[in-house]
C-alpha cells in the first residue's frame, strides 16, 4: 500500500502540488477561484506555454534551446515592421512563422554540422538574434498596427481568450507528435540513447533539425500572440523568457538529460508558474519576493520528485 501511494505521488506529485497551491490561494483570496481569474491565469501562461512544447521536445532529445526568447523578439520585430509597412496580416503572420522556423534551423545546423553543444550554440544565437533585433530597431519600439491584428492576442471565442485556444491547439499538436508519430518516438529514443538510435537506423540529425525548427516556429507563434497583446514591438521583449520556459518544462518532470518525462507534466508545470504569479499578485506580494518564491518552488518540486524516485 505504501508503495502504491508513493507511485501515485510520483505520477501525480506535480498535480497534487498544483491543487494544494490552488487551495491555499483560494482560501486566502476569495477572488482566486473565479472564472474571471482563471481565464486571466490561462491567458498569462499562454505565451510561455506555447514555447514549452518546443522546449520539451528539444530537452527530450538531450538538448536545450536558450534562444527562444531572442527568437521570439526578433520574429516580433520583423512582424511589426511588416505590419507597419502595410503587408497583409495573414501573409505577415506566415512570414513570421517562417522566420521562427529558419532561426530554429540555424540552431539545428550549428549543432549538427559544427558539432557545438546545444547549450553553447543557443547561447551564441541568443546573443546574435538579440543583437540583430536592436540593430533593426535602433533600440526603439515599433507600433501602429492595423485594427484586426489585436484580435489574436486580445479577442475571445465565447468566453475563452484566443491565446488560450492557440495554446490548447499547440499542446494538442505537441501531444500528437510526441505520442503518435515516428518523430515523437525518435525524440524520446535519441534522448534515451543516441548511439543506440543511430544503430537502429534513426536519422538523428534530421530529428534534431526538426525539434529546433519546431521550437523556433513556436517562438514565432508566441511572438505573434505577444505582439498582438501588447500592440507594440519592444526590442527588449522576452529577455529572460527562455528561463521561464525551461523552468516550466523542468517543473513538469522532463529530465534535463533527455528521454524522460511527459508533456502532460509540462502543462501542469506551466500552470503552477501561472497560478503562483497570479496568487502572489492577489496577495500583493512584491515582485522581488515573487522571484525568490519561484526559485524555491522549482527546487522543492524537482527535489521532492527526485527523493520520491529513489
Q: Which is nearer to another protein, 3 or 147 (CB)?
A: 3
Q: How far is residue 297's CA from residue 295's CA, in Å, rounded to a whole number?
A: 5
Q: Which is nearer to another protein, 13 or 189 (CB)?
A: 189
**Closest by alpha carbon to 246, among 163, 129, 107, 123?**
123
Question: What is the nearest approach in angstroms of another protein to the Cβ of residue 195?
Answer: 5
Q: 14 by DSSP, 3-state: which?
A: helix
Q: Which is nearer to another protein, 160 or 183 (CB)?
A: 183
Q: Which is nearer to another protein, 3 or 113 (CB)?
A: 3
**Closest by alpha carbon to 48, among 259, 221, 298?**
221
Q: Which is nearer to another protein, 86 or 201 (CB)?
A: 201
Question: What is the nearest approach in angstroms of another protein to the Cβ of residue 198?
Answer: 6
Question: What is the nearest approach in angstroms of another protein to the Cβ of residue 265?
Answer: 15
Q: Which is nearer to another protein, 124 or 260 (CB)?
A: 260
Contacts of 80 (CB under 8 A, 6+ apart): 142, 143, 145, 227, 232, 233
Q: 226 and 76 in contact (C-beta within 8 Å)? A: yes
Q: Which is nearer to another protein, 177 or 219 (CB)?
A: 177
Question: What is the nearest approach in angstroms of another protein to the Cβ of residue 218?
Answer: 18
Q: Which is nearer to another protein, 2 or 240 (CB)?
A: 2
Give residue 289's Cα distance to chain centre.
Answer: 23
Q: 58 and 183 in contact (C-beta within 8 Å)? A: no
Question: What is the nearest approach in angstroms of another protein to the Cβ of residue 10?
Answer: 12
Question: What is the nearest approach in angstroms of another protein to the Cβ of residue 139?
Answer: 43
Give the DSSP H/E element, type plus range, for residue 73: helix 68-84
CB-count burial class (<10 Å; 0-12, 13-18, 19+) for 232: middle
- Counting every residue written for the chain, the total comes to 310
* Exposure on the CB side of residue 212, measured as CA atoms within 13 A: 28
Looking at residue 105, the DSSP 8-state letter turns out to be H
Strand partners, 142: 233
Which residues of this protein are in contact with another protein, per CB under 8 A? 3, 180-183, 185-186, 188-189, 192-193, 195-203, 259-260
Question: What is the nearest approach in angstroms of another protein to the Cβ of residue 257?
Answer: 9
Question: What is the nearest approach in angstroms of another protein to the Cβ of residue 36?
Answer: 39
Helices 118-137 & 68-84, crossing angle to 10 degrees? 30
Helices 263-282 & 2-28, crossing angle to 10 degrees? 30
Amino acid at each position: 500500500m505504501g508503495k502504491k501511494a508513493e507511485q501515485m505521488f510520483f505520477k501525480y506529485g506535480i498535480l497534487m502540488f498544483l491543487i494544494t497551491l490552488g487551495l491555499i490561494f483560494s482560501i486566502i483570496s476569495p477572488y482566486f477561484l473565479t472564472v474571471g481569474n482563471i481565464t486571466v491565469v490561462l491567458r498569462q501562461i499562454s505565451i510561455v506555454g506555447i514555447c514549452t512544447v518546443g522546449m520539451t521536445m528539444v530537452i527530450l532529445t538531450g538538448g536545450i534551446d536558450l534562444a527562444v526568447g531572442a527568437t521570439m523578439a526578433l520574429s516580433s520585430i520583423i512582424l511589426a515592421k511588416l505590419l507597419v509597412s502595410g503587408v497583409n496580416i495573414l501573409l505577415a503572420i506566415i512570414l513570421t512563422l517562417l522566420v521562427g522556423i529558419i532561426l530554429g534551423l540555424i540552431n539545428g545546423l550549428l549543432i549538427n554540422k559544427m558539432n557545438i553543444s546545444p547549450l553553447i550554440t543557443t547561447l551564441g544565437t541568443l546573443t546574435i538574434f538579440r543583437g540583430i533585433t536592436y540593430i533593426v530597431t535602433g533600440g526603439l519600439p515599433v507600433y501602429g498596427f492595423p485594427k484586426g491584428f489585436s484580435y489574436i492576442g486580445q479577442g475571445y471565442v465565447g468566453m475563452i481568450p484566443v491565446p488560450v485556444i492557440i495554446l490548447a491547439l499547440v499542446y494538442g499538436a505537441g501531444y500528437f507528435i510526441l505520442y503518435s508519430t515516428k518523430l515523437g518516438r525518435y525524440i524520446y529514443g535519441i534522448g534515451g540513447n543516441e548511439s543506440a538510435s543511430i544503430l537502429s537506423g534513426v536519422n538523428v540529425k534530421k530529428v534534431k533539425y526538426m525539434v529546433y525548427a519546431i521550437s523556433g516556429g513556436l517562438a514565432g507563434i508566441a511572438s505573434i500572440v505577444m505582439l498582438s497583446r501588447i500592440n507594440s514591438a519592444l526590442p527588449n521583449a522576452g529577455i529572460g523568457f527562455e528561463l521561464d520556459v525551461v523552468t516550466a518544462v523542468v517543473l513538469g518532470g522532463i529530465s534535463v538529460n533527455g528521454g524522460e518525462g511527459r508533456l502532460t507534466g509540462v502543462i501542469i508545470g506551466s500552470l503552477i508558474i501561472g497560478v503562483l504569479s497570479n496568487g502572489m499578485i492577489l496577495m500583493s506580494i512584491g515582485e522581488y519576493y515573487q522571484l525568490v518564491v519561484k526559485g524555491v518552488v522549482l527546487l522543492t518540486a524537482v527535489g521532492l520528485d527526485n527523493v520520491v524516485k529513489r
